[in-house]
């Protein structure tokens, strides 16, 4: 099978143990995460050949980050070890009405300061079937945005499918260009995007047509009209009852059909980070393995639901486990 390739920053994640606050913590648990790498980490666990492209400092922390993803089956041969520092994020895990809290410390990272010339996309993508990126990458720096544009261009040229989670993060985008200046050109190169209604407004100034009953369909239609390469738009709808209890479903529109999945109750949540990335990974797996789009979408949201019960950013659920959830076996009965 041809591989799935992703491009984006990987950070060290330092999380306070259990529910303790930063000021109480005597140690921080460390794993590594990045929105795009989480997608391939999860896909590797589902048996899909994958590679992630990124840039790390040439020090022990960079090696440890690469080793983390290699452990889960991600090919690390196209990672570049240059630059000054590893991006970090500090995580405090909430409970009940107390929200989880992230302190980012990613400025000046090796990835932010990458040189687009370091990546030979023709070579990297030659055996790929799918290239996935997210809206975080072009938000980090002009050079990261440029490398992302290069990758999309080469992918299209090679006939590699392109997807993106457009994911607008207000706190990024500090290098002098705005999301509205940069993203439309990148989105134009995609076959499929994950895009919530708020993202459509923030990035593309697209709002639902008041006459359209289904606001998501309204927005998706407008997006696809503007970007003809895009054939499908998907997203999750999350009801956040508390930091410990969420409900989740997936929705999709592809100009012909609006689909939605059953709603999954997640209570308690073990780790909410990476839930969206697990959805995307599940959708890629589903698109490859199922002929039926409803099944692909349900697989995606079932995968995402399971991710919330697993620690760290990468979804370590297996295909049989996800298929059990798809079939409605959500009772968590002991498997002997």
Q: Report 221-280 residues binding its own copies (CB under 8 A).
A: 240-245, 264-270, 272-273
Contact with its own copies (CB under 8 A) among 107, 123, 198, 212: 107
Going by the DSSP 8-state scheme, the letter that residue 89 receives in this structure is E
320 binds its own copies (CB under 8 A): no
Task: Count Cα atoms within 13 angstroms, Cβ side, for 101.
Answer: 11
**Judged by CB, which is closer to its own copies: 120, or 267?**
267
Find the part of the chain contacting its own copies (CB under 8 A) among 3-11, 22-30, 149-157, 206-214. 22-30
Give the torsion sign (CA, 255, 262, 242, 13): negative
310 binds its own copies (CB under 8 A): yes
* Cβ 64 to its own copies shortest distance, Å: 4
Contact with its own copies (CB under 8 A) among 1, 60, 159, 228: 60
Instruction: Give the pair of three-digit tokens for residue 127.
Output: 């055996």
* Cβ 295 to its own copies shortest distance, Å: 18
Find the part of the chain contacting its own copies (CB under 8 A) among 138-146, 198-206, 290-298, 323-331. 323-331
Matching residue, tokens 């099978």: 1
CA-wise closest residue to 165 among 138, 132, 141: 132
- Measured distance CA(52)–CA(10) in Å, rounded: 10
198 binds its own copies (CB under 8 A): no
Contact with its own copies (CB under 8 A) among 86, 139, 148, 179: 86
Residues from 153 through 172 that contact its own copies (CB under 8 A)? 169, 171
What H or E segment, with its residue span, contains residue 52? strand 50-53
Q: How many CB atoms lie within 10 A of CB 236?
A: 20
Find the part of the chain contacting its own copies (CB under 8 A) among 23-31, 199-207, 226-234, 293-301. 23-31
Are 314 and 38 in contact by the 8 Å Cβ rule? The answer is yes
Give the torsion sign (CA, 188, 189, 195, 199): negative
What H or E segment, with its residue span, contains residue 148? helix 142-158
Beta bridge partners of 88: 12, 105
**Judged by CB, which is closer to its own copies: 255, or 330?**
330
* Cβ 228 to its own copies shortest distance, Å: 33
**Judged by CB, which is closer to its own copies: 19, or 214?**
19
């Amino acid at each position: 099978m041809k591989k799935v390739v992703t491009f984006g920053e990987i950070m060290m994640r330092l999380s306070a143990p259990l529910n303790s606050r930063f000021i109480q913590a005597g140690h921080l648990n460390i794993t590594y995460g990045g929105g795009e790498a989480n997608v391939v980490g999860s896909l590797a666990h589902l048996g899909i050949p994958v590679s992630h492209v990124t840039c790390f400092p040439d020090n022990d922390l960079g090696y440890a980050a690469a080793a983390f993803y290699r452990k889960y089956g991600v090919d690390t041969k196209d990672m570049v070890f240059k630059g000054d520092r590893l991006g970090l994020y500090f995580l405090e895990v909430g409970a009940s009405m107390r929200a989880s809290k992230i302190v980012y410390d990613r400025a000046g990272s090796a990835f932010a300061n990458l040189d687009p010339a370091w990546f030979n996309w023709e070579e990297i993508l030659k055996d790929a079937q799918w290239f996935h990126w997210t809206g975080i990458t072009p938000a980090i720096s002009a050079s990261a945005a440029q490398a992302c544009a290069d990758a999309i261009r080469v992918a299209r040229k090679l006939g590699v499918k392109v997807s993106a989670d457009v994911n607008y993060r207000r706190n990024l985008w500090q290098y002098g260009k705005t999301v509205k200046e940069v993203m439309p050109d990148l989105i134009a190169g995609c076959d499929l995007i994950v895009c919530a209604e708020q993202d459509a407004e923030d990035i593309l100034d697209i709002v639902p047509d008041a006459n359209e009953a289904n606001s998501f369909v309204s927005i998706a239609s407008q997006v696809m009209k503007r970007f003809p390469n895009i054939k499908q738009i998907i997203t999750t709808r999350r009801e956040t009852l508390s930091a410990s209890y969420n409900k989740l479903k997936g929705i999709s529109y592809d100009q012909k059909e609006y689909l939605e999945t059953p709603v999954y109750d997640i209570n308690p949540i073990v780790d909410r980070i990476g839930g969206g990335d697990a959805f995307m990974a599940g959708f890629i797996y589903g698109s490859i393995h199922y002929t039926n789009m409803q099944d692909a979408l349900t697989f995606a949201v079932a995968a995402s639901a399971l991710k919330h019960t697993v620690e760290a950013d990468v979804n370590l659920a297996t295909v049989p486990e996800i298929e059990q959830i798809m079939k409605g076996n959500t009772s968590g009965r002991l498997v002997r």
